[in-house]
């Protein structure tokens, strides 16, 4: 096939080769130029974008290495052999040569390239209904924005393109790091344009696992909230925009109070197609060897049976004691989310939030858990954070209290009378961060919550104030201000050290 979409820098190694290399044709493959002929061709290409999200090297269920394991919630205690490189993420000893880092970079850009290719060719197809075309384009732009949003938060300035390059000259023209405001502007543009479609408000009115306007509004609101703390200009305007879009997403819910939906229902594999709290999820197929979920069996510790029928031989997904200690007494979420494994080989807390012990998943552990990207408790707490930063404390507390009420916890005003709570979370900001931590534990939000609310220096102070005994084998003293961002993968930097300059400290 003709290589009509290429990662921005991975192909730069061909710079000394003949340009004709890019135009070679595989006689056994369909060329991109010949592919997009019918509406169904476009639909299949859109389906391929969702498939790209399933990959654990992009945003799928096993992508916690690139987010949650960077935080104070979880991580590996194995720094030996094959676990050496994954250990670097939580140990704040990440090297530019880390192969997992490079794989994440490449796979994220591959997903973006798929989006660019579809959008470059969609006009070649005649649609019987223009609304169908706009819907497919809206889904594509949402996914591209989602991928870029994850990348800009992890690396800062990054290469940005919205068209598929086809020659080395075109690749060279885009192979440089563009400043964060430029990347955020493109993300906002994609999401704003995606709202101009006939997508339904909720996924239930389209198809479970596909984009809805609630998802677009939620992501756009989070983007503006992140911009308010990341970019130096227009803080107040960005907060107001965040409030507008997060409120729009919240108002699209088809339930009343959050307590109407039990916390356990959110993660019940039998209710994943009906639970009204779910806004956007990446789907997995129970009982299927290739498309099933592995998250239940992978998190289960030796000697335990709570997650999966598949016997475990290892320590499972470790929950840091620092997180376990953060649950308040009586919090219903704790016993569902974590458990202590008494096996001598483990003797530690492991993750139990994702379960599938059904006969359909069986002893192979081929689970049916969907990976939840956006849900309403997340939206509500993001909105609470936004309102707090806008000085609307009472409105923020009302949202916070809804989340606490479902967990069986007293209202914030009452809890602040407790000296222990008031000492640990003396401000509303810290109370909301605490609530997001215990509500959304292991859902890949924690690291982004921290970097959104703390400067690099504050982040270092936050981690170094923790007890090493509650943090595991990873060394808290390793953290420095450089760890706000990941390093640019070494191979990408080496290709052009000037255009692909390295992040400070690496």
For 54, half-sphere exposure in the C-beta direction (CA atoms, 13 angstrom radius) is: 17
Q: Which one, of 437, 393, 439, lies nearest residue 416 by Cα?
A: 393
The yes/no answer on whether domain 1-8+35-77+84-198+454-478+493-506 falls in CATH 1.10.3470.10 is no
**pLDDT grade for 79, boundaries at 50, 70 and 90:** low
Look at residue 35 and tell me whether its pLDDT is greater than 90.
Answer: no
d(CA 368, CA 354): 10
Phi, psi of 271 (to 5 degrees): -120, 10
Q: What is the mean pLDDT of the chain?
A: 92
Phi, psi of 278 (to 5 degrees): -75, 130
Phi, psi of 356 (to 5 degrees): -160, 95
Q: Which one, of 428, 418, 434, 435, lies nearest residue 393 by Cα?
A: 428
pLDDT at residue 80, as a whole number: 57
Whether 253 contacts 243, CB under 8 Å? no
What are the residue ranges of CATH 1.25.40.390 in the chain? 1-8+35-77+84-198+454-478+493-506
pLDDT at residue 1, as a whole number: 28
User: Which whole number is the average pLDDT over 97-116?
Assistant: 97
Strands 278-282 and 338-341: unpaired
Q: Which one, of 177, 111, 230, lies nearest residue 488 by Cα?
A: 177
User: Which whole number is the average pLDDT over 282-297?
Assistant: 97
User: How much of the chain, in percent, has pLDDT values that exceed 90?
Assistant: 89
Rg of the chain, C-alpha, whole Å? 23
Look at residue 4 and tell me whether its pLDDT is greater than 70.
Answer: no
d(CA 272, CA 295): 15
Measured from the Cβ of residue 188, the count of other Cβ atoms closer than 10 Å reads: 18
Distances (CA, A) of 217 to 129, 153, 224, 324, 374: 25, 19, 11, 32, 11
Look at residue 375 and tell me whether its pLDDT is greater than 50.
Answer: yes
Q: Which one, of 489, 484, 490, 491, lies nearest residue 505 by Cα?
A: 484
pLDDT at residue 427, as a whole number: 98
Whether 323 contacts 351, CB under 8 Å? no
Look at residue 31 and tell me whether its pLDDT is greater than 70.
Answer: no
d(CA 447, CA 299): 19
d(CA 326, CA 437): 8
Strands 338-341 and 348-351: antiparallel
pLDDT at residue 168, as a whole number: 87
pTM: 0.93
Measured from the Cβ of residue 161, the count of other Cβ atoms closer than 10 Å reads: 21
**pLDDT grade for 172, boundaries at 50, 70 and 90:** confident
Terminal Cα distance for the chain, rounded: 38
């Amino acid at each position: 096939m003709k290589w009509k979409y290429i990662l921005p820098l991975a192909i730069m190694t061909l710079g000394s080769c003949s340009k004709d290399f890019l135009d070679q044709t595989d006689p056994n493959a369909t060329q991109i130029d010949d592919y997009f002929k019918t509406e169904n061709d476009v639909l299949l290409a859109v389906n391929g974008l969702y498939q790209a999200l399933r990959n654990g090297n992009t945003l799928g269920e096993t992508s916690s290495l690139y987010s949650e394991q960077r935080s104070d919630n979880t991580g590996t205690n194995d720094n030996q052999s094959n676990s050496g490189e994954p250990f670097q993420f939580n140990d704040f000893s990440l090297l530019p040569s880390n192969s997992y880092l490079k794989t994440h970079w490449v796979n994220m850009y591959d997903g973006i390239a798929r989006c660019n290719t579809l959008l470059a060719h969609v006009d070649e197809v005649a649609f019987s209904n223009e609304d169908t075309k706009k819907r497919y384009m809206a889904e594509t732009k949402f996914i591209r924005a989602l991928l870029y949003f994850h990348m800009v938060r992890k690396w800062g300035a990054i290469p940005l393109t919205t068209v598929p390059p086809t020659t080395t000259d075109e690749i060279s023209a885009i192979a440089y790091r563009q400043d964060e405001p430029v990347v955020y502007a493109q993300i906002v543009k994609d999401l704003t344009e995606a709202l101009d479609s006939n997508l339904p408000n909720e996924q239930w009115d389209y198809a479970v696992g596909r984009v809805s306007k609630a998802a677009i509004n939620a992501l756009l609101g989070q983007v503006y909230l992140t911009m308010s703390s990341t970019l130096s200009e227009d803080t107040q305007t960005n907060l107001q925009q965040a409030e507008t879009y997060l409120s729009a997403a919240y108002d699209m819910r088809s339930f009343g109070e959050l307590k109407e939906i039990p916390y356990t229902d959110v993660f019940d594999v039998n209710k994943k197609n009906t639970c009204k709290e779910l806004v956007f999820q990446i789907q997995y197929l129970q009982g299927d060897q290739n498309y099933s979920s592995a998250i239940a069996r992978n998190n289960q510790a030796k000697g335990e049976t709570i997650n999966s029928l598949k016997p475990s031989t290892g320590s499972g997904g470790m929950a840091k004691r620092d997180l376990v200690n953060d649950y308040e007494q009586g919090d219903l979420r704790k016993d569902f989310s974590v458990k202590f494994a008494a096996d001598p080989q483990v003797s530690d807390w492991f993750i139990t939030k994702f379960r599938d012990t059904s006969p359909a998943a069986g002893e192979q552990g081929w689970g049916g858990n969907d990976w939840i990207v956006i849900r309403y408790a997340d939206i509500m707490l993001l909105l609470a954070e936004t309102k707090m930063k806008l000085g609307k404390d009472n409105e923020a507390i009302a949202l916070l209290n809804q989340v606490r009420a479902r967990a069986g916890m007293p209202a914030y005003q009452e809890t602040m009378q407790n000296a222990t709570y008031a000492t640990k979370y003396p401000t509303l900001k810290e109370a909301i961060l605490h609530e997001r931590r215990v509500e959304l534990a292991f859902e890949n939000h924690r690291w982004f919550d921290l970097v959104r609310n703390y400067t690099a220096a504050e982040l270092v102070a936050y981690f170094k104030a923790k007890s090493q005994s509650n943090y595991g084998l990873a060394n808290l003293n390793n953290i420095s201000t450089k760890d706000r961002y990941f390093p640019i993968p070494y191979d990408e930097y080496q290709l052009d050290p000037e255009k692909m300059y390295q992040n400070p400290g690496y």
